[in-house]
Amino acid sequence: MPRKQKCLVVYVGTGEGFKAPAVAIAKELEAQGVECRTVDFLPGLGLDKADSLSKEIWRRLFWQHSSAFSLGFKVAESSLFLNISKQVIYHLLRKQAIRQIREEKPDFIFSTFFVATSFYARLGKELGIPVFGYNSEVLFCPPILVCNDVARFFVSSREGYEDMVKKGQEKELIRLTGFPLDSKFRKKYGSIALERKKLGLANKFTVLLVYGGEGYGPVLPLIDQMSEFRADIQLVIVCGRNQKMFDALNRNKPDHLVVKGFIDNLQDYIYCADIAAGKSGLNYTFESIFLRKPILVLRAMQNETYAAKMIVNKKIGWWPKDTEEAMGIIRKAMRDRDYLKAYQDRLKNIPVMFSSTDIADSLLSEMKCRAMKKPKQV
């Protein structure tokens, strides 16, 4: 019996944007007979303390202060910063990564985190292991993402593809592919009324509010303004890992509010919503598009403005300037179902392909071609 191929799948756990596509691809590869080991970048190298510190800095500085994130984003676009940081990371982590690869013995590596992609691609050339990358930013290409040492780079939008070429990614290394949606999003649902009942939700106009895995974003102003028509609406807030917000909201919870912590069935809540509101992260945006839910952007980090602009340009949602404007949109959607339906109808015609199978098939095809090119052992 031939040995199973092994793949090391790498992401970074600072949010679902890098993890979700990694998990989706790993599931699909496993379904096709590949043995996958899915790891968070630094913990996978045995650097748990460094990982905890970096995530704490990320949460306290960048997540809670978008201006700091914007500044860091601009600094990261400097070619001097890019060259120095890549060299430093490679020399600091090389020894741990070689140990990891000797233990895991992967036939190939798939990474959704651009720092890990560049790092493993350089090491992979040295060790003879092909490394594949996925552009988790989807709609654009930050300069730090460019890496011409990869065997292949996957991206799920024409805009992202063109920006990668513009920023210096070799065209022949890029493959335009479907968005890697987790297979759990493809479950068959009953009526919205039935699915709401299963979740313990009232069968009335529902706004889902999600600010990503970390759950940082403006909440209280929206709750206050909704109280005037609480009999006709319910606001479902998913707090993610933000325990402080979860506890605060549960202390004095009004009737129209449903509060959830970190959940693994977000797709069910998106399906039950009339409007998907919150942060315009790429996963939440594309998951909402797949389930045909108009998107109300209430927060957009620097890298998420591309998704927010796409939502507005394609008229599949809104990006209000403040809570008052957001409430005006919600009121209109509640009272004028034709207005809301127009947004839902446009979602049906968005030219986005959703497929984890496409990427997995490409990976296995590439590996098969490489195996055929290898000289036979005499």
Q: pLDDT digit string (tens) for 325-363?
A: 999 999 999 999 999 999 999 999 887 788 889 999 999
Residues 202 and 157 in one domain: no
Q: CA triplet 192, 225, 242: central angle to 5 degrees? A: 70
- Tell me what the mean pLDDT of segment 113-131 comes to: 96
Tell me, yes or no, whether 268 and 335 share the same domain. Answer: yes
More confident residue, 74 or 164: 164
Same domain, 150 and 207: no
Are both 128 and 158 inside the same structural domain? yes
Write the CATH number for 313. 3.40.50.2000
- Judge if 35 and 160 occupy the same domain: yes
Instruction: Identify whether residues 72 and 190 lie together within a single domain.
Output: no
Judge whether 367 lies within some domain: yes
**Do 253 and 166 have their domain in common?**
no
Cβ 121 vs Cβ 56: under 8 Å: no
76 & 155 share domain: yes
Cα(4)–Cα(80) distance, rounded to whole angstroms?
Answer: 42
**Which whole number is the average pLDDT over 251-263?**
86
Q: Does 204 reside within a domain?
A: yes
Q: Is 378 a member of any domain?
A: no
Q: Is residue 205 part of a domain?
A: yes
Does 146 share its domain with 192?
Answer: no
Could you tell me the residue range of the domain that residue 23 belongs to? Answer: 6-180+355-373
- The helix or strand, by DSSP H or E, that contains position 225, with its residue range, turns out to be helix 220-226
Average pLDDT over the chain, rounded to an integer: 89
pLDDT digits 0-9 by tens, 24-77: 999 999 999 999 999 999 999 999 998 888 877 766 665 555 666 666 666 666
Question: Mean pLDDT across the stretch 188-205?
Answer: 96
DSSP letter string over 115-174?
HHHHHHHHHHHHHT--EEEE-TT-S---GGG--TTSSEEEES-HHHHHHHHHHT--GGGE
On whether both 110 and 237 belong to a single domain, the answer is no
The DSSP line for 324-346 is HHHHHHHHHHHH-HHHHHHHHHH
Of 34-38, 92-96, 255-259, the one with minimum mean pLDDT is 255-259
Rounded to whole angstroms, the Cα distance separating 206 from 271 reads 10
Average pLDDT over residues 208-235: 76
Whether residue 318 contacts residue 312, with contact meaning beta carbons closer than 8 Å, is answered with yes
Least confident of 160-174, 245-259, 275-289, 321-335: 245-259
Is residue 265 domain-shared with residue 135, that is, in the same domain? no
Residues 175 and 32 in one domain: yes
What is the three-class DSSP state of 323?
helix
Domain count along the chain: 2
Q: What mean pLDDT comes out for the span 187-210?
A: 96
Is residue 243 one of the residues assigned to a domain?
yes
Phi then psi for residue 277, to 5 deg, are: -110, 160
pLDDT range class, residue 377, cuts 50, 70, 90 = very low
Residue 1 belongs to a domain = no
* Alpha-carbon gap, residue 11 to 276, rounded angstroms: 26
* 3-state SS, residue 302: helix
- Domain membership flag for residue 359: yes
Does residue 140 form part of some domain? yes
